Structure 1
């Protein structure tokens, strides 16, 4: 069972959260060509090991979080508010 430790609400089941995608993606400017948006939204790698993801605590405080999770074991090593997260940081 995957449990996420929300910094504001405490540890909760993942069913309270909504997955928001890869936190490492740098989205293009709004004026970017359609091809750039297709690449950013639909073309994905499937990493093995530690990975940064966006999750929203949709059934709780509703805040967006950055969750560092191992995609092989589902072990979560870090959870922080998205607004204070440093892009690309993994410890």
Structure 2
């Protein structure tokens, strides 16, 4: 079972969390071309390996988290508040656009 270590509430089962999408892509500017927005919203890669994702602790503190997990083994490498940037060591491992 997938367990996430919330920095505020401690380790919890994944059923308390809501998946919030890919955290490895940067959002286009608000006035950017519609094609860039369509790509950002609707088209996703399906990476194999470590990947950064947003999760919300919906049944706990309700905070948004940035989780780096392996998409095949579901091993969680790190969990931190979403407002914190990824450290340089994790940016190299996780594809960031």
User: Is this a same-fold pair by TM over 0.5?
Assistant: yes
Size of the alignment, in residue pairs? 91
Structure 1 residues 70-89: aligned runs within 5 Å: 70-86=70-86
Tell me the alpha carbon deviations over residues 6-58 of structure 1, each in whole angstroms, 9 at most, x when there is no partner: 01101111111111111111111111122111000111100001111000101
- Structure 1 segment 1-91 matched on structure 2, within 5 A: 1-86=1-86, 90=90
Unaligned runs of 5+ in 1: none
Inter-partner Cα distance in structure 2 for 1:31 and 1:88? 29
Q: What value does the CA root-mean-square deviation take over the aligned residues?
A: 1.6
- Deviation above 4 Å: which 4+ runs of structure 1? none
Give the unaligned 5+ runs of structure 2: none
